[in-house]
Amino acid sequence: MTSVSVLSVASEIYPLIKTGGLADVAGALPAALAAEDVAVRSLVPGYPAVLAGLPSGETVHEFADLFGGAARLIAGTAQDLALLVLDAPHLYARPGDPYRGPQGLDWPDNAVRFAALARVAADLGHGLVPSIAPDVIHAHDWQAGLVPAYLQYDGLPRPKTVMTVHNMAFQGQFPAALLAPLGLPAVAFAIDGVEYYGSIGFLKAGLQLADRLTTVSPTYAVEIQSPAAGMGLDGLLRARADRLSGILNGIDVEVWNPGNDPMIAARFGPRRLGERAQNKAALQERYDLAASPEAPLFGVVSRLSWQKGLDLLLAALPVLLAAGAQLAVLGAGEAALENAIAAAAQAHPGRVGAIFEFDEELAHQIQAGADAILVPSRFEPCGLTQLCALRYGAVPVVARAGGLTDTVIDANEMALAAGVATGIQFAPGSAEMLANGIRRAASLFRTVGAWRRMQQMGMATDVSWRRPANRYATLYRELVRPADPASEEAPR
């Protein structure tokens, strides 16, 4: 097996900086790939949280002027991750999350902030730091979308590139006037380059110019070739369908391990499901819900955005309440959704609770204590919370969209009879269908044997990175190795 060296480029990485699943993926994949003899270094922006999390490091390059300020590249290890941190204070030394200031508004110079990341990645591909010579550069989401573009227009020998889409809803579209300031040549502003409906499209550029494209589930790979899910890029994806594949996400089964999770009240396993009762009681207390072991407790751990369909859940709430169930929501994001959920909690004390924070520990406690995890997304590239739910014996009740389709086996008649069901699926995008899913879940919950069987089947599901890492490793190897052995030069 030839070893492969990969430079991963992402705007978030767990546990240093996270707003969603991208960070989980960027943070967990390197260790899983190490087992496949793939060495990964991760290039990330030097946000304050990242610099604070890097105990020591070595400056491997200094830039006198990187898009308007001095910068340096620091190589170091944090939490077992081999990192290259781009310390560029004029771009990243700011409060707020990676994309927005404390007021919740996108930084006006986001195009430059993430172009800088891509520019440095491309430079590394050209040998900026001789000891770092990636065979493949793996770009994640729009923030890294210009990597293949810089490599293309530099016109130098370059490593292979993979572009992974975690979410088509975020495309990084910026004014055409930025072309020269971003260091892109005029020729790049073309339909087969970075041009996107008269603007510059970062994700478009990556999808147009990378050697291989992936997304985070097989179903989403198909969905994004249609107008509804492709969100303007479906035509391009259909044209490049032979380069596109779907590789399901995994989760870090060390971080998410109910058998030794220090964040939960009682640890448990598939044969010690009884202990979950303590976690449920603790959760009910934390959320001021009635201390009822019999009430099916539905949990939600989610960004609050239109994608996640929580407005549909509010519309279906009467059905949830009529089924005698409880609801505990952990979410952060849009204020309008937060207000609507808060109002529902206020209207139904003891039955509905909500906490609006980003709280890693509470996320674990919900997975450990809820009977079921609701994921009513309108679209979902992969979704990780349903994978955590499977691992924690919380039955996932999910919309049949994207990766949710691929990861949960619906408790239909046949699956129940065969004993292979792991959760419940319902058609996405409608409060009625969601309400049906909730009704089915509540009724199955009261069929103790069937419910327990689903929990155990879920816990037996392999949600680790083992298989996905193998698929990424295979993809890298195919890229690095010439496709057709016959085309290789014959030995002299």
Residues 26 and 13 sit within 8 Å (Cβ to Cβ): yes
Query: Is the CB of 211 or the CB of 223 nearer to ligand GLC?
Result: 223
Query: Which residue's CB comes closest to ligand ADP?
Result: 21
Return the number of the residue (21 or 172) whose C-beta is nearest ligand GLC: 21
- Map residues 176-215 to x or -, x wherever contact with ligand GLC holds by CB under 6 A: ----------------------------------------
Question: What does the per-residue mask of binding to ligand GLC show for 376-395, with x meaning CB under 6 A?
Answer: ----xxxxx-----------
Whichever of 76 and 376 has its CB closer to ligand ADP, that residue is 376
Give the shortest CB-169-to-ligand GLC separation in angstroms: 8
Which of 167, 214, 326, 365 is the binder for ligand GLC (CB under 6 A)? 167
Nearer to ligand GLC, 22 or 111 (CB): 22
Quick one: 319 or 382, whose CB is closer to ligand GLC?
A: 382
Under DSSP, is residue 144 helix (H, G, I), strand (E, B) or coil?
Answer: helix
110: Cβ contacts below 8 Å, ≥ 6 apart? 99, 172, 174
CB 111, CB 142: distance < 8 Å: no
Using CB under 6 A as the binding rule, the residues of this chain from 385 to 404 that contact ligand ADP are 385
Which residues in 356-375 contact ligand ADP (CB under 6 A)? 358-360, 363
Other C-beta atoms closer than 10 Å to the C-beta of 404 total 28
Q: Would you say 332 or 450 has its CB closer to ligand ADP?
A: 332
Residue 21, interface with ligand GLC (CB under 6 A)? yes
DSSP annotation string for 64-113: S-SSSS-EEEEEEEETTEEEEEEE-HHHH--SSSSSB-TTSPBPTTHHHH
For 318, other C-beta atoms within 10 Å of its C-beta total 12
- Judged by CB under 6 A, the residue of 5, 15, 20, 471 near ligand GLC is 20
What count of other Cβ atoms lies within 10 Å of the Cβ of residue 311? Answer: 18
> What is the rounded CA–CA span in Å between residue 325 and residue 467?
36
Binding residue for ligand GLC (CB under 6 A) from 22, 120, 209, 397?
22
In sequence order, what are the residues at sequence separation of 6 or more whose Cβ sits closer than 8 angstroms to the Cβ of residue 398?
374, 375, 376, 377, 380, 383, 386, 404, 408, 423, 424, 425, 426, 437
Helices (H), 309-430: 310-322, 335-347, 360-369, 385-391, 402-407, 413-418
Stretch that binds ligand GLC, among 15-23, 44-52, 277-285, 436-444 (CB under 6 A): 15-23
| Positive or negative: CA dihedral 427, 221, 34, 483 | positive
Distance CA 136, CA 134 (A): 5
Question: Residue 18 Cβ, how far from ligand ADP at the closest point, in Å?
Answer: 7
- Structural contact between residues 85 and 77, judged by C-beta atoms closer than 8 angstroms: no
Smallest gap from residue 356 Cβ to ligand GLC (A): 19
How many binding residues for ligand ADP (CB under 6 A)?
17
Single residue of 4, 13, 16, 25 touching ligand GLC by CB under 6 A? 25
Task: Give which of ligand GLC, ligand ADP, none residue 330 binds (C-beta under 5 to 8 Å, depending on kind).
Answer: ligand ADP
Measured CA to CA, the distance from residue 152 to residue 305 in angstroms comes to: 35
Question: Nearer Cβ to ligand ADP, position 99 or 189?
Answer: 99
Nearer to ligand ADP, 19 or 430 (CB): 19
Judged by the rule CB under 6 A, the positions of this chain that interact with ligand GLC are 20-22, 25, 166-167, 216, 249, 380-384, 403
